Amino acid sequence: MTKTWAPRTTSGGRGTVRCLLGLLLFLAVPACSSDHRATSPEEVRERAAGPPAQEARKAAEDYLRTTVRAYDKDTPLVLGLVRVNDRCIGGAAKEWFFQTGDDRYRIRCDLHITAYYGADPQQIGDTLDAVLTAGDHDVSASPSGPIPFGHDDYRGRLVDYYREHGPNPTGPDTPEPAHLFAPPQTLSWDTLRSSPKTLVNESGPCTEDDPPVTRCLREPTSRTVADLRQQHGMVFELEMSASDYYQVLK
């Protein structure tokens, strides 16, 4: 049977339009529900100021600050500067196509602390060994101890390298190793053998501070990383985060 093209009738056109309108209405109704809208700034502020968020914030910050003090107390590192960054953000509107997961929560809050310590560059081998010894003790006492870096083969060779008792543990012709990592901590330091040297970055000023949604603290306010380096000879930087310390799902 042969079929030939023919224009659609007017009634067919109206039917198509009605179908399209119905489809758009079907999609629009759920998009207007509270679970599909982005969290408003007012709700973010209200939830960030509420008792559950305050309690979670205090617990997370207390834990991270305990870790900061442990390095100062149990190792040769001398605490000189602490920076706190705290931010709560609202969830996105329903992501129909490109999904990132940001539409699954009403609010989530992250806390990041960076601590800066002075150290004697002539004693870096002994300093690193002391950090690892403190880590050995903490790890054996509790899996969640303040210092997660214990002795192992690589770290032992790192200490020997800085004591000039062995080669670069990462291999010949490789950059000078200048950090240790164990979630959620990263411990970095000024390089000593490299030319030019790679130094711990300066801690910038606080430009956003609008509690309880955003907080930025520098303690003490006037101290700089350069001050620590001038006073002690080199700087160590400890970075830690408490991701999603408070979160409310939709």
Quick: pLDDT tens for 238-247: 999 999 999 9
Q: What is the pTM of this model?
A: 0.83
* Range of weakest confidence among 60-74, 115-129, 139-153: 139-153
- What distance in Å separates the CA atoms of residue 238 and residue 200, rounded to the nearest whole number? 10
Check if the beta carbon of residue 200 is closer than 8 Å to that of residue 237: yes
Radius of gyration of the chain (CA): 27
- Quick check: 4 pLDDT over 60? no
Residue 101 confidence (pLDDT): 76
- What distance in Å separates the CA atoms of residue 229 and residue 217, rounded to the nearest whole number? 21
Residue 26 confidence (pLDDT): 45
- Quick check: 147 pLDDT over 60? yes
Confidence category of residue 14, pLDDT binned at 50, 70, 90: low
Confidence category of residue 108, pLDDT binned at 50, 70, 90: very high
